[in-house]
Each structure stands twice: as C-alpha cells, then as structure tokens.
Structure 1
Amino acid sequence: MKTKPELELGDAERMLAAARAEAERHGRAVSIAIVDDGGHLLAFARLDGASPASARIAQDKARAAALGRRETKAYEDMINGGRTAFLSAPLNGLLEGGVPVAVGGRVAGAIGVSGVKSEQDALVARAGTQSVADGSAREHFPREDSR
C-alpha cells in the first residue's frame, strides 16, 4: 500500500504564521490561503487592508497550485507566451502567487497569496512553504481499522 504526505492543521498554521510575518515585515496587505493536495481549504487569513477580492484570488491560486502540482507562475508564463487557451481553464488562480508544498517529491498541499504585485505575492507564499520545507508534513498511513 502506498503512502502520501499530508498537511496537518499544525503545518497549515505554521505556514500561515510564516507567510503573515513576511507580509507584515514588508507592509503588504494580502490574503493567504493554505489548501490540502485536493485543493480544500485548511487555513486562511485576510490581513488588515487586504481587498475583498484578494480573499477569493488567494484561495484560487492555492487550489490551482495544489491541483496542477506546480507554481501558478508557470500558468501565467504560458498565457503570456501566447497559450491563451489557459484563460478558459476552470481554475481562476493562474497568476503568480500559488506555490505547492512538496514532501519527498509529492505534493501535500499549497499556499496562495493575493493582494500585491504577483511576484510579491509569490515571495510571501514561499516564506510560508519554507516553514514546512524540512518535511514536517507527515506521511499518511491508512488506518488498519478503516477497511
């Protein structure tokens, strides 16, 4: 039976705290969303002064990074490079600022940040991922009694 990495609430809270600290250090009013590998919300914060729209966009960026298993900047680069078909993709978070969290080469979740320039969003997001970069997200083993 295979195992997979899994973000736990403690991981999500550490990521949120690290990203928030980075944003506040630079005076950036952003929204921060952390999702699991299926794109489901685990933790969220909309910092004082962040626009209402940033709340939705941060979640979309996180979801796109988790489900696409790549940074959302890759999608933005493809669109800017002429692959405009991506504009019709069902995920709306195709701007830089969504970063997956990988453990042992497998995506365990992602973080999305919105509220400032895309490259600044990404820097805040990466600060969040670095807080669990040591592989602290646990390997998930199916329970014996779950059959």
Structure 2
Amino acid sequence: MAISLNKSRTIIRKALAHGRETELKPLSVIVLDSGGHVIAFEREDGAAPGRFAIAHGKAFGSIMLGMAGTAQMKRAEDQAYFMAAVNGVYGGQVIPVPGGVLVRDKRGRIVGAVGVTGDTSDNDAAAALAGIEASGLTGEI
C-alpha cells in the first residue's frame, strides 16, 4: 500500500490545523512515499522559505534509515560518526531530529514518512502525528 495523494493532503491539512489549534509558529509539512519521493508539500504563510529542505531532510532520513527522527537523534548523540557517514552517503539530506515521522499501514509496514518543521522539534513531531492519525495511518516518532 502507498500513501495516496488524498491521504497526503489529509495529513498536511490536519497537521497544519493542529499547529493552529496549539498556537505553533507557521509550519511546513511534507509527505514522502516509501522510496523517499515527494507526494505533497505545503508551507504556511509566514514560514521561512528554507523550510522545504528541513521538512524534507527530517522525512528523508526517516525513510532511508527506517527509523523516526527521535531514534535518529539518539543515534546521532551516541554515534555521531555514523550519522555523519550517513549524511555523506545521502548528500547531506538527513536531518536527524524529531519531526521526521515514519508512517505505517495497518499491517505495520512502512509506507512513507512525514516531515514537519517550523516550531520546536517535539511540537513538529506532534503536528505530524496528528495529521497521520487523522488519515487512518500510524505514525512512529
């Protein structure tokens, strides 16, 4: 199963709604498929223009490593050389912090990832999780 464009739009809409409801700074949200390709992206008014690359890096690392941002951050803290090597392999595209959330289907298979940026990393992850759950899928932060 893949994340459809319709589900991707739901994830983005609900993640942004969560941000507004909890008074977060302007967010940017990206949804990637299981191969790391962009399905959809939105940047709220007032969000910095460089947020696409940050959201992408959070989600891309989750897909390429098969571990969510929180686990990546722990790995970076414990084995900085490993994450530096990974970032070299992927051309500097991995941002190992919370806000990169793996997306699983009902069978537990990874079907994509969501990256959210704009507020604190933990708030970004909460917004991503809200969007993913609203779409009927499961998020792993």
Give the equivalent residue in structure 1 for 2:103: 101
User: Taking structure 1 as reference, are residues 22 and 117 closer, same or farther at Cα in structure 2, changes over 3 Å only?
Assistant: same
Distance 2:137 2:110 in 1: 14
Give the equivalent residue in structure 1 for 2:16: 20
Distance 2:67 2:60 in 1: 11
Percentage identity across paired residues of the two chains: 28
Distance 2:99 2:137 in 1: 21
Runs (5+) with no aligned partner, structure 1: 136-147
1:129 and 2:132 equivalent?
Answer: yes
Counterpart contact for 1:36–1:42, Cα < 8 Å:
yes
User: Taking structure 1 as reference, are residues 120 and 134 closer, same or farther at Cα in structure 2, changes over 3 Å only?
Assistant: closer
User: Taking structure 1 as reference, are residues 134 and 78 closer, same or farther at Cα in structure 2, changes over 3 Å only?
Assistant: closer
Give the equivalent residue in structure 2 for 1:143: none
Give the equivalent residue in structure 2 for 1:115: 118
Counting matched residue pairs gives 130
Deviates more, 1:64-73 or 1:108-117: 64-73
Counterpart contact for 2:104–2:137, Cα < 8 Å:
no
Counterpart contact for 1:33–1:113, Cα < 8 Å:
yes
Q: Secondary structure at the match of 1:96?
A: coil
TM-score (norm 1): 0.81
**1:72 aligned partner, one-letter code:** G
Q: Deviations over 1:71-107 (max 9, x none)?
A: 11111111123x1111342232211101111011111
What's the C-alpha RMSD, in Å, of the aligned pairs? 1.5
Following superposition of structure 1 onto structure 2, how do residues 1-147 of structure 1 map, counting pairs within 5 Å?
A: 5-28=1-24, 29-81=26-78, 83-85=79-81, 86-88=83-85, 89=87, 90=90, 91-103=93-105, 104-133=107-136
**2:55 aligned partner, one-letter code:** A
Moved over 3 A (4+): none
Distance 2:29 2:58 in 1: 10
